[in-house]
Structure 1
Amino acid sequence: MGGQREPGAGRWVGIDLGTTFSAVASVDAFGRALVLPNRDGERTTPSVVFFDGEQPLVGTMARRSVATSPLDAVRFVKRAMGDPAWRFETSRGTGYGPEEISALILKRLKEDAERALSSEVTDAVITVPAYFDDAARRATIAAGTIAGLTVRRVVNEPTAAALAAGLVTDPGVGGGVDAGVDVGGWAGSLLVYDLGGGTFDVTALRVEPGAVHVLATAGDRNLGGFDFDNALMHLLDERFRAAGGPSLLADDATEVDLRERAELVKHTLTSVEKAVAHLAADGVARSVTVTRDDFEHLTSALLSRTRDTAEQVVEEAGLTWAEVDRIVLAGGSTRMPMVRRMLTEISGRAPDATANPDEVVALGAARMAHLLERAERPPEPEPRGRSSGLRSTKARFGLRRRERTEESEEESTASSAGMRLAVHDVTSHGLGQILYRRGTEIRFNRVIIARNTPIPAQEPCLFYTRYNRQDELEISITEGDETDLAHVRVLGKEVLSIGPYPKGFPFETTLAYDENQIIFVQVRDLTTGELVGTFEIEHVLNPNAERVAAATDRIRAISPL
């Protein structure tokens, strides 16, 4: 799934697959990363799919059609990535999973990019929230594959923002992002505060000549501008009802209209102190006034959640606010004045507003795509480097820490004429195994790879057989940072045959993350030294190869308008 292939003749692009809006960017012949306009002349595309019968519409036309038939529209699908229970059915009963809906958006972006570039687009770097788990990352790769793209890397959105903003905000660089200039023009500690339409992340990074090191990351995949809109919708509905109108949340059509009004009020309050929403339903029309103070008081708890996360990340990065040299904003929701005011209050410095928060993630993804492409297509003939995607089983396991560090630098560094940049990211979730406390029937989660571990990562875990004549091992791999099983999620299980062995014989599980933060498992018998099993985590949350192939064939026949 999402496997790598040899680079073709097509163009490589960076894609910000957003909850509410998406964007695609590429690096031009002059080394500049530029956002590509869509067929409507817009620099961002609404992440909305509307089904007119069986014909999907994507983007602005889809968004405008939502009010006429809300049940035929899909919005905010990014929040469902990796959820096997989520399903959308068209009015004619055709079902789509979240990765297929996302594939329709990606296919539209791919086609628009091909129009803008007058060239086929074959390969992409796609960004994801830093706090996306394994299932959501795999679903994103599957969506790209279904859309006809080779997904070369999934990159955390704050990391992409740093790649772009580290240059965009450089006092010595003006205009667009120049992907051919060494990042060494600025060095220091950077905090990326990414509040998008549906997700939130904070990442602390250290930028130095030729390298970007992610120090710590945290976030909430269910917190974004969508939630601020929801709070405002309830306020407007409450005031409309108080003025004699019916509830606007009781009907799908009026709720869609109310959301649009709430979004307009939120955007208006970004620049002025007061906004008026004109609401109507069942013959009742009222004008409802909302002040910026009303809105900020209403959403103070949401803002506090982002503040707590930002302070947590700074602490986990081993920094103080005085040591944070720049704060970069990503995501359109960062335009809210209370966000910038809060960050100024806690950090003692104003956020850097030079970069366009709607575009900075796509620009960073384009920069990463350019670096990877140059590494795959060196200017001078030379032995081809290793693929930037999933490594071989031999490369995933058996490396000592020093060797892994050297390989990490080799694989994460792309160099070409006039540029060299290494990106060192970290894990966003802990990875572990369910074990029994020795001599008891008490199960607990043993964290093997901790959150914020540099990637690619690989760590072992020792455990023992529990009873005499034991002839199998149940390996349960978890995602989470706690020992309490109630606070972690089981990603997958494998039952492996052994022995039989007496009680107390040692085995070792080695877990590994690759650059896409996808999980691999190896189990070794320490008595014989032989491998018991090596496998990737495959469970119900992960789109399997057969499902992806079938979806690819289906989506290939669909041309989203």
Structure 2
Amino acid sequence: MATRTAIGVDLGATNVVVSWVNSRGETEILLNSEGKASMPAAVYLADDRTIVGEEALLRGRRHPERLAAHIKADLGSRWYHSAIGGVHVPPEALQACILRQLRLEWDRKFLGSKVVTIAVPAIFNDVQRRATIEAARLAGITNVEIIDEPLAAALAYAEKIPQSFVGEEQSLRKILVLNMGGQATEASVLSLNFHGLSALATEGDPQLGGHDWDLCLARRVAEEVSQLAGRKWLMNPGLRFRILEFSQKAKLALSSRPATHLTLQVGERTHKIEVTREKFNAAMSELVTRVELVIQGALSAAHLDWHQLDGTLLVGGASQLPAIRELLEQRTGRLPEAWISPYEAVARGAARHAFQRLHSTMAPMPAIHSQCTHSLGVEWEEPITKQKMRKTLIRRGTPLPTEVTRELIMRGAQRKSIVLSLWQGDAENAQHRTLIGRAVLEDLPADLAEDWPIDLKLEMGINGRIAVDASVRYTKCIVHLVMQRPDFVSATHFNLWQQIVESLSGLPAYVEAGKLEDIGGKKIPVVITSSHPAEASVQEDSEPQAVEENRLLALLRRLMPFHRGATQLASTSEAAVAAPVSGDQSARRTPPALEVIEMHDEL
């Protein structure tokens, strides 16, 4: 009998963690070939091959223009936010390189087939969720599903929680899951008992993550370095990188000790910069307030107060900051639960979800109910007035899974086709809406009467994925909406990108693939299948604009990666430290020579 293994992946913005379920039904963390429990989510495009993980970061120190990091933030966009070696690459292809490396790791350890679940942020929209699935396909992972990170974390804690926490069999406990990754912060309120768990409310801030703490501390350290050693030293990229690196380590160190320091030797002079927990907390007070507002938003949506929570589960490295734990203890009156490592919870929970999929016919498994985090609606144009009509079909906060059937009346007779656009987000604000697909009902009967009804059926699963069926009543005009976002790599070149990812080709292969995408990527299909053969609907897509960034900003944006706050940190040094470049071709002004620099981050 062929063996099958349940695999869970925490595909983080900074690091990735993999878990699996052993023969006893318990989750374990899969160590990589280097014996480590996590791998940096970074990709380096060398001339001869693609490098992933720790080595990618090390090489990226010398050639940041070849490094891609923080890729998760760009899922849902057509291109990674910066050109890599002068070429624009889809973020799915870069994420696929990371997933391929993970696939090789678990294929070496386990024989037979694998059932894989990848955890994604609860605030991901359908476009970002499908982008994650596409990245897995490019990496050669076929049997894959996704789950929201808060639900995954709750499943992991449910594996370890004592019976006294859950209470009686019918009793529901309200728990807060605070997920603080490198990129974003999410707060989810869940109800939990032995029968299952349900999401009651989710709130998030996609622009608030652990990197914001690193940047805030790095700016203050850079200011002290400037005062002690002179501003010119901040123009050295090696020193600025070490300041960022020290800030990351200091943030973690201050979680368990009252102070840490950095020793900087410049020439014959030695400078010591001390960072205490009190100074750190004072500097981060504004960020803590933003986290508190996110939690308050989730509690308000769930109609709960802080003291009505039965427990708090922490996920992600930034959640271990003393200021965050003190905030939760002060507002809830209890310490956060500590049954499982916050660095492993999401991966372990994803593995348990994969195990449930693998053994769905076995002993009863806890039921999982998610929640719609983005409203879903449809839009069409009236043929006579050309007015855009819009209708919300599934509202934010709706329990998942759900199925909705609506009747739409299309004004106007003798129409040859009807175009329905599906969007996700805020119905009243166009900037907060995302087009996720179009359905084209073609070859309508010539004698179709005015105001003829259209039946629209939408299904949304617990994983947030959407399926749509539309039909003109009493006719054979039916379409099943296959939602491929208009800015993904073209279907024509999907196999090409897949071959590049699988072969671990170097930068030249990406350059050639990028040229093909630029030539053929102006019109990308939106609708893939319908009941009537016809040309797919298309949407114009603008050419990628040249990304101009100097070497120092590239270092900050990619290596750590802190592209959201790189400009603020750069402002602590003198302006125009390097000439603007496009790709890696233009000349740069050389920063001041550095005679001796020794930095000791004694943690």
- TM bucket (normalised to shorter chain) is 0.7 to 0.9
1:251-270 paired onto structure 2 within 5 Å: 253-270=238-255
1:67-216 paired onto structure 2 within 5 Å: 67-86=61-80, 91=85, 96-115=89-108, 117-119=109-111, 122-170=114-162, 187-216=172-201
Alignment partner of 1:471 is 2:416:
yes
Corresponding residue number in structure 1 for 2:213: 228
Alignment partner of 1:521 is 2:484:
no
TM-superposed deviation, 1:156: 0.7
Distance in 2 separating the partners of 1:456 and 1:185: 22
3-state SS of 2:371 partner: coil
Larger Rg: 2
Corresponding residue number in structure 2 for 1:553: 499
Distance in 1 separating the partners of 2:21 and 2:359: 11
Q: Deviations over 1:163-214 (max 9, x none)?
A: 01123232579xxxxxxxxx96985222111101222222111112231212
Corresponding residue number in structure 2 for 1:507: 454
Measured at CA, do residues 259 and 313 of structure 1 come closer, stay the same or move farther in structure 2, by a change above 3 Å?
same
TM-superposed deviation, 1:285: 6.5
TM-score, length basis structure 2: 0.75
Alignment partner of 1:423 is 2:368:
yes
TM-superposed deviation, 1:430: 1.2
Q: Which stretch has the larger CA shift, 421-430 or 75-84?
A: 421-430
Maintained 8 Å contact 2:384/2:412:
no
3-state SS of 2:339 partner: coil
Maintained 8 Å contact 1:142/1:543:
no
Q: What is the percent sequence identity of the aligned residues? A: 26
Corresponding residue number in structure 2 for 1:380: none
TM-superposed deviation, 1:362: 0.6
Maintained 8 Å contact 1:139/1:543:
no
Q: Deviations over 1:290-330 (max 9, x none)?
A: 33333323333322222222122122223333332111111
Alignment partner of 1:11 is 2:2:
no
Maintained 8 Å contact 1:12/1:121:
no
Corresponding residue number in structure 2 for 1:410: none
Q: Deviations over 1:381-428 (max 9, x none)?
A: xxxxxxxxxxxxxxxxxxxxxxxxxxxxxxxxxx424x4222112222
Corresponding residue number in structure 2 for 1:42: 36
TM-superposed deviation, 1:514: 3.2
3-state SS of 1:233 partner: helix
Distance in 2 separating the partners of 1:147 and 1:133: 22
Amino acid across the alignment from 1:328: L
Maintained 8 Å contact 2:5/2:21:
no
TM-superposed deviation, 1:543: 5.0
3-state SS of 1:451 partner: coil
Q: Which has the higher contact order (CA 8 A, sep 6+)?
A: 2
Corresponding residue number in structure 1 for 2:14: 20
Measured at CA, do residues 88 and 291 of structure 1 come closer, stay the same or move farther in structure 2, by a change above 3 Å?
same
Maintained 8 Å contact 2:392/2:427:
yes
1:390-405 paired onto structure 2 within 5 Å: none
Corresponding residue number in structure 2 for 1:58: 52
TM-superposed deviation, 1:248: 7.0
Distance in 2 separating the partners of 1:256 and 1:164: 36
3-state SS of 1:349 partner: coil
Q: Which stretch has the larger CA shift, 58-67 or 222-231?
A: 58-67
Kindly tell me the number of residue pairs found equivalent between the two proteins.
Answer: 504
Maintained 8 Å contact 1:474/1:495:
yes
Structure 2: tracts of 5 or more residues without a match: 507-603
| CA RMSD between the two structures | 3.3
Q: Which stretch has the larger CA shift, 249-258 or 75-84?
A: 249-258
Alignment partner of 1:491 is 2:436:
yes
Distance in 2 separating the partners of 1:248 and 1:429: 47
Distance in 1 separating the partners of 2:436 and 2:263: 48
3-state SS of 1:148 partner: coil
TM-superposed deviation, 1:478: 1.0
Corresponding residue number in structure 2 for 1:360: 345
Maintained 8 Å contact 1:189/1:205:
yes
Maintained 8 Å contact 1:54/1:90:
no
